[in-house]
A and B are shown apart, each in its own frame.
Chain A
Amino acid sequence: MARPRWLVATGLLAPTGLWLGLFFLAPLALVVQFSFATRDTGVARAVLPWTTQAYATAMDPAFLPIFGRTLAYACATTALCLLLGFPLAWFIARHGGRYRTALLAAVLVPFWSSYLARIYAWKALLDGEGLVNTLLGHVGLDREGGFLLTHGAVVLGLTYGFLPFMVLPLYVACERFDHRLVEASHDLGHGRASTFLRVVLPGVAPGVLAGSLLVLVPSAGDFVTPRLLGGVDQSTFGSVIDDQFRGGNNWPLGSAMAVLLLVLVALVLVLRGKRGEDVL
């Protein structure tokens, strides 16, 4: 006896739908609701009447530098991840052989421990008397007070945290890439650089795009890294949002900023175009 298609579809989608509805859409709806509420200095934090005041505040030009910094961090992180991730993914896909799975697993191993714990480890490493500064001191490249609380420390932390998100889609793209195209390119007289630019890069472009999005989006919203590795001048959009909630300062403003960030990210995803959809 054949079951009706709709019944099968409902049965298959219900658990995910319920999960997403409860734990994704409902909280999101609450955030949107908060963003149009009035700030309360009691425990309620957000009360009636409805207002768009929070959006007016969030659009304040005073937040522009923060926004620019966030974007710069996210772009620098993405570029660094690409630079580090591509050779790694290429190597695992092309030369990994029977160790491929083990190598991929090694990329994921850091995920087994808490991100917070690992960032605290970086805190110790980057401190004035930490390992990094001491080692660099031997070659005269150390910095007074260590590298903690600098832009570099934040980008390093973000790159460290999000690198696996870049490596995995790149690996898939490199794996799918037909290596005979490289040989053909060489046969037809292209040099190494030219082959890389005209053959390899277009071939793995979907992976590059997918990896970049997977790194760019979360690093733009991250607040833990700038808070722990950054100092007074390293606050980002994410950490400003976090401030509005944590100190109980202004939930409506925090929510409005979160909604704006969400809209921006959604725009990026829409603009990623057809090629990105192959992988992501």
Chain B
Amino acid sequence: MTEQNLRIARLWDTGNARVTRRAVLRSTAFFALAATGACGVGSAPSTTSAPPASKVKATNARAEPRLNFYNWTDYIADDTLSGFTEASGVEVTYDNFSTNDEMEAKIASGAAGYDLVVPSDNFLRRFLRSGLLSPLDHDLLPNLGNLERRFTEADYDPGNQYSVPWAWGTTGLAYSASQLGEVTGFSAYDLAAAQGRATILDEARDGLAVGLLMLGHDPNTTDEGQLAEAVTALLELKKKLGQITSDVIEPLTSGQVPLAQAYSGDAFQARDTNPDVAYAIPTEGGLSYVDLLCVPKDAPHAENAHRFIDYVLEPEVGAALANAIRYGSPNEAAKPFIEPELLDDPLVYPSAEQLAKLPFTKDLGADVEARYADAWTRVKTG
């Protein structure tokens, strides 16, 4: 509702500005809303008007030492919040979500009052397209230089204009070692013990990446022909699959699913309960994903949010976080403080050679993303 109200409010704000095509659309949207009395469809907001990051000044709309932080469940170290409160005097209200969809529903409604949220990179793209985030004030983030270069140049947000990485992982294959032996690549879907029971993720970009990688194509391809080939390959693969699902932790743990395309975080969670679960980065390659600290546009304590981001970027704090959640840390300066056994785990910190085959999912623009979504519908219904 608030987002709608904002849009309608902007309609009046334009005053005597030229009547642009967008403004006409917007007023059509307004009358459509008024006519139906419902708040369903509006025009897409423009996202190109954001000022460059260096010009942004983050301030607290409400001058109080508070921070409303909205993060994934079980995704923080015990002393991260208390340490920040001690260092800055800012009290943190900490809320949790368990899916990106759940978090999006709150942020998109605009009235949630959160200062800091942690979407995954695919949802960051969605948020940016709808202009829901405020650019970061780099003057308040002197520790930004601690980040590994891979995360400052990443396609999802080059130059960290809107986001600072919290933790990252990979998309690969989780499997039952006792049922399948050792798995190295997508050929595992041909194994007799996996027939009719294996799964791939129910996400357009992740699922199609399996088809693209099996054929040796770039999972970020914009080539329609390659995408069509991937659809054909996946329709063939479907004959060997049990399900297309993103809920893999429970069936992996119980052994019901012997092989699943999975996020490394989920795979490790299954492994914690059942040591038989193993995880592999396919030789054909995979994808990287990252969860990102962002400041929503209407954040009441934006400055405090920046202070928290900068605090987490401190080497010791970042290392304590990484040691606790067992995910990859994007913080280069924190590495000396991270447990050596964790640093040496090639599944958490893959070699440079492997990393080259683990790109982030690139934002391919609305048109190509829509094409991926349609291709995925063809895979699922074909």
Contact = CB atoms under 8 A, between A and B. Distances in A.
A109 interface: no
The interface centre, meaning the residue of B107, B242, B373, B376 with most chain A CB atoms within 10 A of its CB, is B373
Interface string A64-89: 01100000000000000000000000
B339 interface: no
Contacts of A145: 195-197
B38 interface: yes
A241 B210 CA distance: 24
A32 B164 CA distance: 40
A64 to B, nearest CB: 10
Contact of A46 (B3, B40, B45): B40
B126 interface: yes
Given A34-B41, A232-B244, A43 B256 contact: no
Contacts of A26: 37-38
A42 B380 contact: no
Contacts of B32: 33, 48
**How many interface residues does chain B have, given as a range?**
35 or more
Interface in A104-130: 127-128
A247 B244 contact: no
A33 B104 CA distance: 22
Interface stretch (B127-135, B155-163, B320-328): B127-135
Given A41-B369, A43-B130, A145-B196, A240 B242 contact: no
A46 B43 CA distance: 8
Contacts of B203: 247
A247 B36 CA distance: 27
A258 interface: no
Contact of A41 (B40, B42, B126, B382): B126
Contacts of A246: 101
Interface in A161-206: none
A231 B373 contact: no
A65 B380 CA distance: 12
A247 B131 CA distance: 20
A43 B25 contact: no
Contact of A48 (B43, B242, B380, B381): B43
A128 B258 CA distance: 13
B29 A48 contact: yes
A222 interface: no
B28 interface: yes
Contacts of B29: 48
Contact of B370 (A37, A41, A231): A41
Interface string B356-371: 0000000000100110
A246 B3 CA distance: 21
Nearest to B26: A48
A49 B243 CA distance: 36
Interface in B187-244: 195-197, 202-204, 238, 241-244
A263 to B, nearest CB: 20
A223 to B, nearest CB: 12
A65 B131 CA distance: 39
B93 interface: no
Given A26-B38, A48-B32, A149-B196, A63 B381 contact: yes
Interface in A25-55: 26, 29-30, 33-34, 37, 39-44, 46-49
The 6 closest A-B pairs by CB, nearest first: A42-B130, A42-B129, A43-B130, A249-B373, A43-B108, A47-B44
Given A42-B130, A43-B129, 10 more contacts: A42-B131, A43-B107, A44-B130, A48-B25, A48-B41, A145-B195, A235-B380, A243-B380, A246-B101, A250-B374
